[in-house]
């Protein structure tokens, strides 16, 4: 039986000083009825907690760790830059290098600005879109998460085509009234809203593959419809690729689905595990960003040398021949294995996958949007999570998150995960 004593003691102390004992809510594991584990260290596909328990990790720091943890190239890149210092508040060569790498990888981006998180990236992209179009209203989709900026915290599912209802105290009505949240993958509703209000819409922002309602791929024609309607009405199409960027292909979801958005947002992988975000787009749009243009956005640690070094090292590794092919193979092994495990266990489960993003829903109907995702048995998912953890498999502590496969996950890791899932699902089916 695993001991969690040290994690438990640390959590009690943490709760005295930090809201909920964590620096980001989902880490509190409240929706799965456990206390968080405190992690001592991580290497490759494994996490080791404060009590020395080892886990196969499918959170990967919520996406950044596509190479696996403590990749030697990333560690040595950071160590090298550390000898130069940590932050200068002035431009460094590494910022130019990572900008070139992002622009070379993502044709729709002609200029890019580095920031410190995905939230900063999406928040800034929306401001630029509003500045460039002179319009205020933005469209997002139920179940998509774009970070915690006021404009995005709309009560998901707040009714089709109605202006937003604040999803959190502290978000002023004056802000949220300019946000519309529509059903994901619902082409008809989107087209009718654009017909009616398109000329007043500054931007449509979307997770081109939804990873924050569990894993929900775009329906056939959905992204194409966003592209067509925004172009028709002079609204900007923003792909929030904070999670999918450099994850589902070397050029993100826009390369995978061959759609060219007006702006793109990145985070996670592009920082290799250090705090980084980025937003970019066509020159005519990005030339509106200060100091070149009037739309203001700034950041003390934007382009931080250590973060740039980690990002550059990561992008170099994923650019090597065969990287994505190998990741595709191991990710398919996991998804197919989980599907078979559910069948063998006689359990209701749907497994969605795009590249190395995998989502399992404990439901017997297809999951194509947030409402479908909410048909999952959340109590059963919580039990599944806890039992998988006992078996040394570290999953995202919420039904509405995705699993991430890294280059460090071995066939053995994946086969162990699949057999653990089969035994847990059997246990749950029997109970
Ligand atoms: P950050 O501000 O957390 O770096 O990025 C916000 C963000 C923006 N866009 C997408 C598509 C995202 O998935 C995120 C952040 N993802 C969550 C996990 N689903 C971060 C985990 C957390 O909040 O602790």
Residue 154: its pLDDT value, please? Answer: 87
Do 65 and 123 belong to one domain? no
Residue 8 pLDDT exceeds 60:
yes
Do 419 and 396 belong to one domain? yes
Among protein residues, the one whose CA lies closest to atom 5 of ligand 1: 118
Do 272 and 387 belong to one domain? no
From the alpha carbon of 144, which atom of ligand 1 is closest?
Answer: 11
- Ligand 1 centroid to residue 269 C-alpha, Å: 12
Higher-pLDDT residue of 175 and 165 is: 175
- Considering 142, 186, 240, 262, which one is annotated as catalytic? 240
Are 369 and 186 within 8 A, CB to CB?
A: yes
Residue 163: its pLDDT value, please? Answer: 54
In a domain, 22, yes or no: no
pLDDT in tens, 329-380: 999 999 999 999 999 999 999 999 999 999 999 999 999 999 999 999 999 9
Higher-pLDDT residue of 99 and 164 is: 99
Are 96 and 252 within 8 A, CB to CB?
A: no
In a domain, 12, yes or no: no
- Considering 46, 111, 140, 268, which one is annotated as catalytic? 268
Residue 165: its pLDDT value, please? Answer: 64
Residue 159 pLDDT exceeds 50:
no
Number of domains into which the chain is organized: 2
Judged by DSSP in three states, 231 sits in: helix
- Helix 411-430 to helix 323-345 angle (10° resolution) is 20
- CATH number of the CATH domain containing 32: 3.90.1150.10
Give the mean pLDDT of the chain: 96
Of 271, 291, 318, the domain-final residue: 318
Do 114 and 144 belong to one domain? yes
Is-catalytic flag, 240? yes
In a domain, 33, yes or no: yes
pLDDT in tens, 203-221: 999 999 999 999 999 999 9
Instruction: For residue 163, list its beta bridge partners.
Output: 180
Of 318, 338, 354, the domain-final residue: 318
Residue 430: its pLDDT value, please? Answer: 87
Domain that holds residue 218: 72-318
Band (pLDDT 50/70/90 cuts) for residue 160 is very low
Do 345 and 422 belong to one domain? yes
- CATH number of the CATH domain containing 96: 3.40.640.10
Residue 162: its pLDDT value, please? Answer: 46
Residue 388: its pLDDT value, please? Answer: 98
Residue 158: its pLDDT value, please? Answer: 39
Do 351 and 282 belong to one domain? no
Of 300, 318, 336, the domain-final residue: 318
In a domain, 9, yes or no: no
- Ligand 1 centroid to residue 207 C-alpha, Å: 11
Do 295 and 283 belong to one domain? yes
Do 226 and 131 belong to one domain? yes
pTM higher than 0.95: yes
């Amino acid at each position: 039986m695993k001991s969690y004593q040290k994690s438990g003691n640390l959590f009690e102390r943490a709760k005295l000083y930090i809201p909920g004992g964590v620096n980001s809510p989902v880490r509190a594991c409240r929706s799965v009825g456990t206390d968080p584990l405190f992690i001592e260290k991580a290497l490759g596909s494994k996490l080791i907690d404060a009590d020395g328990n080892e886990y196969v990790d499918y959170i990967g720091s919520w996406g950044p760790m596509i190479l696996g943890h403590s990749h030697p190239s990333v560690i040595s890149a950071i160590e090298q830059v550390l000898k130069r210092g940590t932050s200068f508040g002035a431009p460094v060569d590494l910022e130019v290098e990572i900008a070139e790498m992002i622009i070379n990888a993502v044709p729709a981006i002609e200029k890019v600005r580095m920031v410190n998180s995905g939230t900063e990236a999406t928040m800034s992209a929306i401001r630029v879109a509003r500045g460039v179009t002179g319009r205020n209203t933005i469209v997002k989709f139920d179940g998509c998460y774009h970070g915690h900026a006021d404009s995005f915290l709309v009560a998901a599912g707040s009714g089709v085509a109605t202006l937003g209802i604040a999803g959190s105290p502290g978000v002023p009505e004056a802000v949220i009234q300019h946000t519309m949240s529509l059903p994901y993958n619902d082409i008809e509703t989107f087209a009718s809203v654009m017909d009616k209000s398109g000329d007043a819409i500054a931007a449509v922002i979307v997770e081109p593959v939804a990873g924050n309602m569990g894993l929900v791929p775009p329906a056939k024609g959905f992204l194409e419809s966003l592209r067509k309607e925004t172009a028709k009405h002079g609204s900007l199409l923003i792909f929030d690729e904070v999670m999918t960027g450099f994850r589902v292909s070397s050029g993100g979801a826009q390369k995978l689905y061959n759609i060219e958005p007006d702006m793109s947002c990145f985070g996670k992988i592009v920082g290799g595990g250090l705090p980084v975000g980025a937003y970019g787009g066509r020159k005519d749009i990005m030339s509106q960003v200060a100091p070149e243009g009037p739309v203001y956005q700034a950041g003390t640690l934007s382009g931080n040398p250590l973060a740039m070094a980690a990002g550059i090292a990561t992008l170099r590794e994923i650019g090597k021949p065969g990287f994505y092919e190998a990741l595709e193979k191991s990710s398919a092994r996991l998804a197919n294995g989980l599907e078979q495990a559910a069948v063998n266990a006689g359990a209701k489960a749907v497994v969605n996958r795009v590249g190395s993003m995998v989502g399992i829903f404990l439901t017997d109907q297809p999951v194509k949007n947030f409402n479908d995702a909410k048909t999952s048995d959340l109590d059963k998912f919580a039990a599944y999570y806890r039992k998988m953890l006992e078996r040394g498999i570290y999953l995202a502590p919420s039904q509405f998150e995705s699993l991430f496969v890294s280059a460090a996950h071995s066939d053995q890791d994946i086969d162990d995960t699949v057999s653990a899932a089969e035994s847990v699902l059997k246990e749950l089916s029997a109970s």
